Chain A
Amino acid sequence: MTLLEIKDLKVHYPIKGGFFNTVKDHVKAVDGVSIKIPEGTTYGLVGESGSGKTTTGKAVMGLNPITAGDILFDGRKLNASGKKVDVRDDIQMIFQDPYSSLNARKRVFDIVAEPIRNYHRKPKNELAEEVLTLLDRVGLPRDALYKYPHEFSGGQRQRIGVARAIALNPKLIIADEPVSALDVSVQAQVLNFMQEIQKDMNLTMMFIAHDLGVVRHMCQHIGIMYQGRLVEEGTAEDIFSNPQHIYTKRLIAAIPDTNVDKIERNLEVRQTVKTEYDQNFSDSLDDEGRAFPLQSISETHRVALPVKG
């Protein structure tokens, strides 16, 4: 069952200029993205800086105005004009930087309890019970309750962020580069733990990242974004074993591998792909420099290939 469906999402920002500050043009941060995420799975949204992956995530959270398109959550339209559907308990976000996304002047109790307080009126002891359960769940000790964020390590802070995100029993979590600010050993901790939480709570996740290794480890489905559009989408297997779009190929070839036996080969592949990319990349875009619409090449695999004819 599809929990989140994004239909032809567009987020455009106006560029203003001239004597009367009129709109001259638009930055097309997201330009026609469609994504379906089945319940209980993790969808990896990959792209380089400026590809629009974070904007897409924020649009789902309602943090960005949407220019066009629909976002359906559990079959309900989130951006319906008029009466807004309130699904904020159901969708939560985890941010990149565990250092700056937590309010340094608040204690863990207040940080985690905040979303609960916003939506439900509860007596203090009940609230404390609930927060303690959440801390247990993310593997933080009970005495963390009255400490401040700076008293924790990076991995623990990310756990606090997760505890806050799951406080309202959400169905969907949007994780925006949740481990890219962390050291590899801490990253491993957080990734393991996110997988557990997901299994326990049957969470659906949109995992936004630039690190393909991490995305491969975490996600069942992957979408590759380039300049506001998807260029390829498929299962992790499709993307890594059978990449079709030259942009995807280049992204994958660029990852340095720790296997010292393969290095020569990897460098060769990277060089070949780069040559191909330099020669053919413009052919894989339309006249306006946008990626073509996605076409299915198998049941799960879709690629932005030139329209024939």
Chain B
Amino acid sequence: MLMSEKLLEVNDLTTSFKIKGEYYPAVDHVSFSIKPNEVLALVGESGSGKSATAFSLMGLHTKARITGEVQFRDKELTALGTGRMNKIRGGDMAMIFQDPMTALNPLMKIKQQITETLKLHGKKSKDERESYAVELLDRVGIPRPERVAEAFPHELSGGMRQRVVIAIAIANRPKLLIADEPTTALDVTIQAQILDLIRELQDDLGSGVLLITHDLGVVAEMADRVAVMYAGQIVEIAPVRELFKNPKHPYTRSLLNSLPSEDMLGSRLHVIEGVVPPLDKMDRTGCRFAPRIPWVPASAHEDNPELREISDDHFVRCTCYRDFHLNNEGDAPASADAAMETGTGGRA
């Protein structure tokens, strides 16, 4: 594959945070790439490192140690200082945030918050910026954009505010859009509208999208490819159909089975035993998911497992997927799985 085809190429990205004087990686040698017009979903539960990955790409961590390569178009981002990074973020690379209720400055008019990013990335005169801001509000489906431009954030509903956040993100026609849980805080009908909007804008701009979410339904609908993260690593990455039709890694399969769905009616949902270990208490040598599937024999796991391509474009970490079976056939009593949970928690 030619380099020029890739919009973003991340190699061995490692983001470490300081805990009691010691740095521990929350994002641990993560590699992936995004092509123009492609939606890559990054899925995982809290603590998996998916948001930390997005923040690292944007250079938004203030107190983290970041190593590895982030090649964005023709620039190596990890080598850029804040000044040069400020030319890129908000411009060719922009981000949509999770919580629209807190993502906007409460003391600034909507108009100012949009024109600020237009001005920073070299847009036109003041008048032009203002009329373009109104145009953007209209573009993201806000009724009566002239009035909303003059409003303050508290005067808008959550769905409207999220549209404003999106308007800010797309203001400079970014080549890469990073969406960090863009609909988690919204009602389902609003979620559907916002997802539609992102899809539409992406088509329009031909941008690549990094979609970070924990909602597998959203992933299935939006993504072209999916990367599943667990404990700071990508454990499986595959095209969307392949991932949902033929999930391999025990974590991916457990996640899919813990969702309530039509087929699960009247039965117990699958429970992943234990908890994600905290950063400073994590065993980083073996398969990180091993403690949560204790019924799979130790011999099934690899030491220092790497991502391995098992079929076209489908990568899985560790060999344990071959011996993995779900553990929800036995109707274990609640106390049993809770005891397991405490067991791990206690060790942590």
Contact = CB atoms under 8 A, between A and B. Distances in A.
Within the complex, are A and B direct neighbours (CB within 8 Å)?
yes
Interface of A: 48-49, 136, 138-141, 144, 152-153, 155-156, 159, 183-189, 191-193, 195-197, 210-214, 216-218, 250-251, 253-260, 263, 266-267, 270
Contacts of B258: 184-185, 187-188
B256 to A, nearest CB: 7
B272 A185 contact: yes
B191 A258 contact: no
Contacts of A184: 45, 214, 216, 255, 258-259
Question: B192, B217, B255, B265 — which one has the most chain A CB atoms within 10 A of its CB?
Answer: B192
Interface of B: 45-46, 158, 187-192, 195, 214-221, 240-241, 244-245, 254-256, 258-262, 264-265, 268-272, 275, 333-339, 341-342, 345
Given A141-B338, A213-B259, A263-B221, 6 more contacts: A136-B335, A185-B271, A196-B334, A210-B187, A258-B216, A258-B217
A140 B341 CA distance: 9
B236 to A, nearest CB: 15
A251 B192 CA distance: 10
A183 B187 contact: no
Interface of B is mostly: helix
Contacts of A217: 260, 264-265, 269
Contacts of A256: 191-192, 195, 215, 217-218, 220-221
Which 6 pairs, one residue from A and one from B, show the smallest C-beta to C-beta distance?
A: A256-B217, A139-B338, A217-B260, A188-B269, A188-B258, A185-B272
Nearest to A49: B187
A260 B224 CA distance: 11
A258 B256 contact: yes
B46 A183 contact: yes
Contact of A216 (B260, B333, B336): B260
A214 B272 CA distance: 17
Nearest to A253: B192
Nearest to B338: A139
Contact of A141 (B244, B262, B333, B339): B339
A254 B215 CA distance: 14
Given A48-B189, A156-B342, A260-B240, A191 B261 contact: no
A218 B256 CA distance: 18
A214 B269 CA distance: 11
Given A254-B189, A259-B220, A193 B240 contact: no
A259 B191 CA distance: 18
A160 to B, nearest CB: 11
Nearest to A194: B334
Question: A49, A192, A196 — which one has the most chain B CB atoms within 10 A of its CB?
Answer: A192
Given A139-B334, A140-B342, A260-B240, A183 B188 contact: no
A196 B333 CA distance: 9
Contacts of A255: 188, 217
A154 to B, nearest CB: 8
Given A140-B338, A192-B271, A259-B220, A185 B189 contact: no
Nearest to A218: B260
A251 B188 contact: yes
A188 B258 CA distance: 6
Nearest to A250: B189
B334 A192 contact: yes
B270 A188 contact: yes
B156 to A, nearest CB: 14
A156 B220 contact: no
A263 B271 CA distance: 26
A259 B268 CA distance: 20
A254 B192 contact: yes
A185 B338 contact: no
23 contacts: A136-B335, A139-B334, A156-B341, A159-B338, A183-B46, A187-B258, A188-B259, A188-B272, A192-B268, A192-B334, A193-B338, A196-B333, A211-B188, A212-B188, A251-B189, A254-B189, A256-B195, A256-B218, A257-B217, A258-B219, A258-B261, A260-B220, A263-B221
A153 B341 contact: yes
Contacts of A195: 268
